[in-house]
Structure 1
Amino acid sequence: MRFGPLATARRFIQIPRISRLTGLNIPDERLAPTKEELDIIDQLPFFQKEFKPTNRSITKAKRAYLDKKLPIVRQLFPNPQDEDYLSYKIPENLPNPFLDAYARATTNPVTGTVEYDGTPRLSVTKLLTKRWCELRETYDIYSQVPIFEHGRISRGRREHQKLEDDVHLPLQSVEEFKAEFEIDIPDDAFHTLVEDWFQTMTRLLTLFQKGQAREILCHGYLSSKACRLLDGSVKDEEDVLISGIIDHLILKKRDAATLSPTPLKLNLSSAASYDLRQILEVLPQLVQDASQELEVIVSDVKTRSTKTIPQQQTVISASKTQVMYYRYFLENLSSNADRTYQKLLINAGRRGFDVDAPINPAKVIYLMEVDSVIEQDMLRLQSGVPIGFAPFDSYIESCDTQMQYTLEDFDDLIQDLRTRQKYGHLFTKWTTPVTLRYFAARLAQMYTNLSPLLSTNLMVEYYSGDVNFHNILFKYDPKELERESVDSAMFWFGKRNIEPIKPTLRNFLTYCKYCDYESVCLWKKEGKDACRSLGDDLTDLDQKVEGNDSTTTN
């Protein structure tokens, strides 16, 4: 066990029982340190290291970032007693971090409806308010200034992308098609969500084909009233959407000591068998048959500049909690296709999208080029044939009129012979439009194949460059996740105070070193002052001990 400076000092201090000190107040000025002695204490290396102002070099970009952010935070967290420092209390006029600072909810004076100037949803990582210091997180949330992207963040993003490309690298032909396609392929927020849902669906199929998949979307909902994760259907407008991206899913043998990906015995070699409807009809039985032998491990990837894992226990704990959120969301999404379909429709609605708005045909053609697994479904929509998922098919059948959806213009716009040969039969009027509702249906069906395979074994992977140098394996703990989620919800919905790091010397050295608010943090200042008064406290204790011993002797 390692001991800090205080623990070392305490080995030379005999602390009597509390009962011996009760009622004693015998001062002895002989024990009080002189001014010269206090100056010597202040110059000790330990106190110099802890309390000396840091002079880290700051780039011009970082300085400009701080010059923008800090005045905003100062205005929101004033400290009347000392204007040089920030208050560590949530502003009384903005008591709800989610509604007042993040979503920025307002009521339309004409319609009376609630509107949002910010983001009315959260991510899994946003729920991890204590992964470092919740006070720092709070200042960042209220500032509404995006996190500064330093070198470690951009490097980590590149390393994640490389891992993703190792499993899901687009074919060169797809990149060439995209560059040469004669019609612009939209990439606005709506069509990005379309591609994300399509990509998650096809990557889950890759999980069964190759034994692993990366960057998989998941989501759930958090009750702002009960401060709990929702287990069933979403019924309240105040239930908040929580989204996440799972770094890594691994399909492996349950009894294997290694993490070797193990594909399902899924025969998709022929063009006729590569039909999403047929795959979704046969996949559930294949999964069920393999569920005794195989399991899906949910994992998160952390990139590090060196081959070391974080020393802070809060960081390790937050990483585990993050993976448990993913596991919980997958369990819920895979439990019932009909309910998941509705959750996905609500997901899109919470993002402000119409699930029945037509998807740009250029995007549809591009997605078929990326993965032809949806091509037979597109022919079904073109001719008005049911896709084989009852909630979707019954909705389409119940619509009195369908909006016009046509690719007829493509017959004139597209001259490329290869494209015309491959997709020309689609350049007609369609009976059923391609919408987000369709992708919600197919993604919901694909999610449900995970249910029999989800393992209670979870993992955090640590990478430095291309090297996976360490893994943390642990068990899924629903009760621990419930405690963590309730605690986070209580913070986000303004039902508890900020809980900064514990004011210990070790924490100040560890957590405050690279904090943007280090020089203006009242919490740290008060903690520092408390440490400086430690000498006086020990002096008082010695006085009481000396006085008690003297009384006993007499």
Structure 2
Amino acid sequence: MKLGTDEHTRLELSSHPTVLVEPPTLTMDPIDVPYLYEAYAKESEIAENISESILYRLYNLFVTSEAREIRVHGYVNLQSLELESFRQTSDSTLINGIIDLIELKDKHNPETDFSMIHDIEQYLPTFNIPIMETYTEDRDQQQGIIVPDSETSDKFTLTTFLDQLTQLLPYYSDSMELIIGDIKTRSVQSIPRQQSVIESAKFQVFYYHQFLTILATSGNSYRSLVDSWQLRNVDLDVPINYKTMFMLLKKYGPLLFDDMIKLSKGVSLGMDQFDEFIINNPTTKSTVVYDPSECFAEHKSSHPLLRPWVNPPTLRYLLARCSQMYQVLGPFISPKCKVEYRNGHTHKVIATNEYEFDSNEFKAQIHKASSFWNGSQNPKINQDISKCKYCEFKAHCPVPHHQVHNDTGDGIQPPPKKLGDLVYHEFLHVQM
């Protein structure tokens, strides 16, 4: 387990190096630190996570042709036994996943033709500027306040990024394609010998393929994202605290700065579903005045963010932007998937299994899995104890300890028909 985690981390950092930032230094007595500096810690932590794992990673896909560890999700209806584009009923079960690798490649010359990436750099000249180089701090006034660099800040906004990218990408929709991959780490120089393990890995990447396809093409990505977090009892409309807001601007300034200005002034973002929600639901606005200038009592600045905000930054805002980033991928979704087996010690690729997504095969798998989890199908007892060797649950499972056998006259009955239903409701169907 640790070997696999270490290898995934190594690959992730090779594509997305960690940017370490410190929160602003507050020159005030601790008793005077404003309430909103560290309030709503759970929601603010989620804001950091999705800014990195969706917004920035998908941005990175279009400027480098690959991205790793992308958050996706989907809904499986355990009664209709189907995958849904959003949560339609209480039978819609949320499934979360992390795609190990997404690659954007030329269909004919995948290893050499990066003309689309080069055109993006020329058509949108600031796309290839590292995030941290386009914003600076005004160190002569107050450490930690983000100030746009006059030479670059007016060239890049997330709205412009999305609008111009949407105009450019159709020229490449016939020549470029997305390939979705999963990475499996091995401690030995071979792939698994059990066909069931190979099949399991294939279906895992098939799930990821469909989750991303639905988020990119269904038109319901915003609703789906909102539902996914509300199911976990997360309040999408409380403000992201000051500390997190400053750190997000330090890490992803060009992506977020213009949006933050618009939110502070109460100006429309141009994302209809979010803008309409803000207009039609004024009661969702925080009753606490959002004024980041509270953090800098001695700072006398006309900086546009150091003022009371009309609309504070929230998770709902970030989800709206994430949904737009997913939708940009729509024209490039292809049936190609792959599972890459890597040696965790040498970091070398052992083998790569390539697959074409098969909708009929996937539907049959959804039916089979849902029938187990809703209790309508008998569980099948594992007959090959070698499969248990690396199982995380073997210490608690009766199978490797010969406490469960099949019903062939040995007097011990198989597990109850409702086992999947019991596990689902008692252990998995919880609000996280």
Q: Using the alignment, how far apart are the partners of 1:211 and 1:497 within structure 2?
A: 44
Q: Using the alignment, how far apart are the partners of 2:195 and 2:223 within structure 1?
A: 38
Deviation at 1:463, TM superposition (A): 1.4
Deviation at 1:224, TM superposition (A): 2.3
Match in the other structure for 1:221: 75
Given candidates 172, 184, 191, the residue that maps to 1:309 is 191
Q: Using the alignment, how far apart are the partners of 1:355 and 1:409 within structure 2?
A: 20
Mind listing any 5+ residue stretches in structure 2 that lack a counterpart? 28-32, 127-151, 412-432
SS in structure 2 of the partner of residue 236 of structure 1: coil
Mean Cα displacement is larger for which, 221-230 or 269-278? 269-278
SS in structure 2 of the partner of residue 352 of structure 1: coil
Match in the other structure for 1:403: 286
Deviation at 1:208, TM superposition (A): 0.5
Match in the other structure for 1:459: 338
| Residues 1:193 and 2:46 aligned together | yes
Per-residue CA deviation, residues 111-165 of structure 1 (Å, 9 max, x unaligned), is xxxxxxxxxxxxxxxxxxxxxxxxxxxxxxxxxxxxxxxxxx1221111111111
Q: Using the alignment, how far apart are the partners of 1:255 and 1:181 within structure 2?
A: 55
How do 1:514-553 residues align onto structure 2 when only pairs under 5 Å count?
Answer: 515-516=394-395, 517-518=398-399, 520-524=401-405
Match in the other structure for 2:416: none
Q: 1:163 to 1:354 in 2, by over 3 A?
A: same
| Residues 1:156 and 2:4 aligned together | yes
Match in the other structure for 2:376: 495
- Native 8 Å contact 1:251 1:296 kept in 2: yes
Deviation at 1:262, TM superposition (A): 7.0
Q: Using the alignment, how far apart are the partners of 1:298 and 1:385 within structure 2?
A: 37
* Count of aligned pairs between the two proteins: 364
Q: 1:189 to 1:313 in 2, by over 3 A?
A: farther
Q: 1:244 to 1:187 in 2, by over 3 A?
A: farther
Q: Using the alignment, how far apart are the partners of 2:40 and 2:378 within structure 1?
A: 41
Match in the other structure for 2:312: 433
Deviation at 1:192, TM superposition (A): 3.0
Deviation at 1:399, TM superposition (A): 3.0
Q: Using the alignment, how far apart are the partners of 2:408 and 2:387 within structure 1?
A: 13
Q: Using the alignment, how far apart are the partners of 1:522 and 1:489 within structure 2?
A: 26
Q: Which amino acid aligns with 1:306?
A: V
- Native 8 Å contact 1:407 1:427 kept in 2: no
Q: Using the alignment, how far apart are the partners of 1:281 and 1:405 within structure 2?
A: 34
Match in the other structure for 2:258: 376
Deviation at 1:453, TM superposition (A): 0.4
- Native 8 Å contact 2:289 2:309 kept in 1: yes
| Residues 1:235 and 2:116 aligned together | no
Q: Which amino acid aligns with 2:387?
A: Y
Per-residue CA deviation, residues 368-420 of structure 1 (Å, 9 max, x unaligned), is 111111110000000011000111111112234533464536444478x9xx9
Match in the other structure for 2:155: 273
Q: Using the alignment, how far apart are the partners of 2:273 and 2:58 within structure 1?
A: 21
Q: Using the alignment, how far apart are the partners of 1:189 and 1:411 within structure 2?
A: 22
Q: Which amino acid aligns with 1:403?
A: S
Match in the other structure for 2:59: 205
Q: 1:307 to 1:194 in 2, by over 3 A?
A: same
Q: Using the alignment, how far apart are the partners of 1:220 and 1:311 within structure 2?
A: 30
Task: Give the superposed CA RMSD.
Answer: 2.8
Per-residue CA deviation, residues 72-110 of structure 1 (Å, 9 max, x unaligned), is xxxxxxxxxxxxxxxxxxxxxxxxxxxxxxxxxxxxxxx
- Native 8 Å contact 1:221 1:234 kept in 2: yes
Q: Using the alignment, how far apart are the partners of 1:315 and 1:412 within structure 2?
A: 54
Deviation at 1:336, TM superposition (A): 3.9
Match in the other structure for 2:145: none
- Native 8 Å contact 2:336 2:357 kept in 1: yes
SS in structure 2 of the partner of residue 353 of structure 1: coil
- Native 8 Å contact 1:380 1:387 kept in 2: yes
Match in the other structure for 2:352: 471
TM-score (norm 1): 0.61
SS in structure 1 of the partner of residue 102 of structure 2: strand
- Native 8 Å contact 1:335 1:451 kept in 2: yes
Per-residue CA deviation, residues 324-343 of structure 1 (Å, 9 max, x unaligned), is 00110111111144x21111
Q: Which amino acid aligns with 1:162?
A: R
SS in structure 2 of the partner of residue 159 of structure 1: helix
SS in structure 2 of the partner of residue 452 of structure 1: helix
Q: 1:405 to 1:167 in 2, by over 3 A?
A: farther
Q: 1:228 to 1:176 in 2, by over 3 A?
A: closer
Deviation at 1:268, TM superposition (A): 4.1
Indicate the percent of aligned positions where both proteins have the same amino acid.
28
- Native 8 Å contact 1:287 1:453 kept in 2: no
Q: Using the alignment, how far apart are the partners of 1:496 and 1:341 within structure 2?
A: 34
How do 1:67-106 residues align onto structure 2 when only pairs under 5 Å count?
Answer: none
Mind listing any 5+ residue stretches in structure 1 that lack a counterpart? 1-152, 531-554
Q: 1:406 to 1:163 in 2, by over 3 A?
A: farther
How do 1:61-72 residues align onto structure 2 when only pairs under 5 Å count?
Answer: none
Match in the other structure for 1:253: 106
Q: Which amino acid aligns with 1:227?
A: L
Larger radius of gyration: 1
SS in structure 2 of the partner of residue 520 of structure 1: coil
Q: Using the alignment, how far apart are the partners of 2:389 and 2:278 within structure 1?
A: 58
Q: 1:400 to 1:201 in 2, by over 3 A?
A: closer
Match in the other structure for 1:177: 22
Match in the other structure for 1:244: 97
SS in structure 1 of the partner of residue 104 of structure 2: strand
Match in the other structure for 1:295: 177
- Native 8 Å contact 2:388 2:400 kept in 1: no
Deviation at 1:259, TM superposition (A): 8.7
| Residues 1:358 and 2:212 aligned together | no
